[in-house]
Amino acid sequence: MALAIIAGVGFNYLGFAGLPLFGVHAVANKSVVAHLAVKFVHKVREPQPTDHNTPPANPVVIDGVKMRYNPYQPSDGPYPLLTQNEKIWIDVSISQQLVYLFNGSKRIYTMATSSGLDTIPDNSTPLGVYHIQAERGTWFYTANYQEGAKYWVSWLGHGIFLFHSVPMNSKQQLLPHVAAELLHKASHGCFHLTIPDAKWVYDHVPYGTTVVVEQAPVYLKGDQIYRPSSVQTQAVRATQPNPTQPNAKRAGAAKAMNA
């Protein structure tokens, strides 16, 4: 029932609306009611650190194969709109099978992936800190594996270790049984992505972008990376604008003008 303010002599009581208390009728005092309403509002809880960052499932059945993520759609909804010269970096968690896109310490997107099977050296994904290389393309096919993929971008070995779409056959037709393995190890060492995710990386991730490949899960607090490792901290700092740089430029310009 609604709360009302009970007018007293020199003090107020709380009673139920429309009911007298101690013979004094309830009166409406909007300013006091509003003040009390603020006090009774539950405090908004701060987000807690979590490693449960998997994008919501987007299930589909293709050729009788059930898939958690539709390989023809983005894995985490609409893509971020990057501003001109906005720097990003990539963190891939092998334990989570997730590709994180960060701007500084802020997560801007998450992609489901499949990394190397890690059963033998030839199908393992190497851990470490790397950078996007110059090689990229819209299609490749490897006869030895009888697999190809669209929208590939090299991050190690100059065309050996790639981000690319889920595998396809020589006719560029999807291999459903492999595409269904997103969020599970399934590759020969590359990172499989949905076709739109791979195209976004191809279109928007520039040469030189830092790629951190680690076994550990990534913890987030809201959209902020939580307790980053030393290599993650370096990547964060490298993509954050230098607040002293504009001042330095102005100072240099002032010296030039006064020379």
- Tokens 């889920």 label which residue? 166
Q: Which two tokens stand for residue 247?
A: 């001042």
3-state secondary structure of 65: strand
DSSP codes joined into one string, 146-196:
TEEEEEEEEEETTTTEEEEESPB-TTS-B-HHHHTTTTS--BSSSEEE-HH
- Identify whether 188 is a catalytic site residue: no
- Identify whether 52 is a catalytic site residue: no
Catalytic residue among 25, 52, 131, 164: 164
* 90: β partners: 101, 211
Nearest to 147 by CA among 117, 187, 184, 180: 187
The phi and psi torsions of 92 (rounded to 5 degrees) equal -115, 120
Catalytic residue among 25, 131, 184, 190: 190
Annotated catalytic sites, by residue?
164, 190
